[in-house]
Structure 1
Amino acid sequence: MPLPRTPQAQRKSETRSRLIDAAAGLFARKGFHAVSAESVAEAAGRTTGALYSHFGGKEGLLLALLEVWKDRTAEELAAEIEDGIAAGADPADPAVHFGAMWGSLTRPHPDRGEAWLLLETELWLHGARSPLIGTRLAQRYAEIRAQLGEGLADWAEATGTPLARSPEETGALVLGVLLGLAMQHRLEPEAVPDALVVDALSALLARS
């Protein structure tokens, strides 16, 4: 049984949450580079010093924000897939899983709107130019690839559909297709319809 939080720990947790929520709204509306650390702190009702204390700066705050979104999205994906299977979808059909993944990147979210893909792209550009952020971003991508690979390996074992490539390689391929097609879809949705993406990912999995 977890121990109750002390008042100080509770305040730190609340400050962290307020800063992340404020950043989500500002970054989504204005873009990462157009928002200052001071404006995020002001919107959260906290000091700039608190932002630097918790996250080390605006870049660290963006990484934390995307990590929170990743965890929430994983929970939402699992629930969506379970609901689909309960409604009669075939759990062995990769389209059930890939359709949910694709939707998480491209469907406007009630809380996040279309901000995730835009912020993900901005973070990649920033990481490509900054060795410090690049290292942390590479670690984050490695964790996402591993999670995807583990999930696909579990699916393969449960459905009797062996993966020809390692889970790590399969996760890397799936992530690359998802992000690459999502970027194209964002600018020209009719050129990259949902069915094409799901078919491509299913074919990749069959050949991988």
Structure 2
Amino acid sequence: MTTEEPRRQRLTRAEAKARTRKLLLEAAAQTFARKGYAGSSVEEIAEAAGFSIGALYSNFGNKEELFLELSTTYNADRIAEASEVLLDQDADPVQAVNEVSRLLVDAADKDTDFSLLQAEFWLYAVRNPQVLDQMATRMRTPRAALEQLVGKSLETMPAPAEATPKAVATIVAALFEGLVRQRRIDPDQVPEELFGAALRWLFSGIEVSGREKKVAAPAKRKPAKRPRQG
């Protein structure tokens, strides 16, 4: 090595651990996509990443944890993309909703391997309650981000009390996941603009319901004035 060549800096322990986790997750994603969740083994994943089984288990407790980490990151990234589009103050509202619709199309048409893996893992988790509990816990992070995004929209309208960010976020997530699966089955039944239209219908209904309840709410009666005593 000549004196002009920069010396390679040694990674800190935290940096090395982060790099190992990243490589293991990348290898897991490739292995799962190629062989499915059930057909993949931790041995294959560790070998594909260039690490020992011990290195894998020092970063992830088991294969379920590996997949849940991938799934959580995937969902968080999709929500972050939607947030960036919808919270852009300069964006045209109609165009923004259309952009969000394209996220669904990408999930159904381009991320086919991962959507299939999520369906496979869902079946596995339903049959294994302890894994289902882990799945629910992991999904709270991206779901909280979705609740925050939904909450910002609800602040701009007279929403009824029961239309909480948590409740509406649950419906939005169910719409997205359900339409992704429907588009995989029959793309003609789920055109690109359908998810955006469904979101408009949902929030329009919430706004109308909020206005109706506001009008129907009885006015507070003022206390009767006491007659003056002479």
TM-score normalised per structure 2: 0.74
> Given residue 63 of structure 2, which amino acid in structure 1 is its aligned partner?
K
SS of residue paired to 1:163: coil
Q: Which residue of 1 aligns with 2:171?
A: 173
**Quick one: distance in 2 between partners of 1:206 and 1:25?**
41
Name the structure 2 match of 1:15.
Answer: 20
Question: What CA distance in whole angstroms lies between the structure 1 residues aligned with 2:41 and 2:101?
Answer: 36
Gaps of 5+ in 1: none
Corresponding letter in the other structure for 2:107: L
Cα separation, 1, equivalents of 2:15 and 2:100: 38
Q: How far off is 1:135 after superposition?
A: 0.4
Higher alpha-carbon Rg: 2
Provide the residue aligned with 1:193 in structure 2.
Answer: 191
Aligned residues: 195
The amino acid of 2:190's aligned partner reads V
- Equivalent positions of 1:52-201 (< 5 A) are 52-81=57-86, 86=90, 88-90=91-93, 95-96=97-98, 98-108=100-110, 113-157=111-155, 160-164=156-160, 165-201=163-199
**Superposed, which structure 2 residues align to 1:19-58 within 5 Å?**
19-58=24-63
Distance 1:104 1:171, change over 3 A: farther
In structure 2, relative to structure 1, the CA distance for the partners of 1:99 and 1:172 (3 Å cut) is same
Letter of the 2:93 counterpart: D
TM-score (norm 1): 0.81
| Alpha-carbon shift at residue 134 of structure 1 (Å) | 0.5
Aligned partners of 1:81, 1:166: CA distance in 2, in Å? 19
Q: Which moved more, 1:141-150 or 1:14-23?
A: 141-150
What is the letter of the counterpart of residue 161 of structure 1?
M
Distance in structure 1 (CA, Å) of the matches to 2:39 and 2:141? 29
Structure 2 CA distance for partners of 1:197 and 1:89, relative to 1, 3 Å: same
Shift in Å, 1:47: 1.0
1:102 alignment partner AA: L
Deviation at residue 30 of structure 1 after TM alignment? 2.1
RMSD of the alignment, in Å? 2.6
Partner in structure 2 of residue 203 of structure 1:
201
**Counterparts of 2:49 and 2:107 in 1: how far apart (Å)?**
27
Letter in 2 for 1:77: A
CA contact (8 A) 2:85 2:96 kept: no
How far has the Cα of 1:197 moved from its partner? Answer: 2.6
**Larger helix proportion of the pair:** 1
Q: Is the 8 A contact 2:108 2:181 kept in 1?
A: no
Shift of 1:98: 4.0
Q: Secondary structure at the match of 2:93?
A: coil
Most deviating of 169-178 and 142-151: 142-151
| Deviation digits for residues 77-131 of structure 1 (CA, Å, limit 9, x no counterpart) | 3444567x64x5127x8734642542452242xxxx4233222212211211112
Could you give the per-residue CA deviations for residues 143-166 of structure 1, whole angstroms, max 9, x where no partner exists? Answer: 433322210111333xx2243301
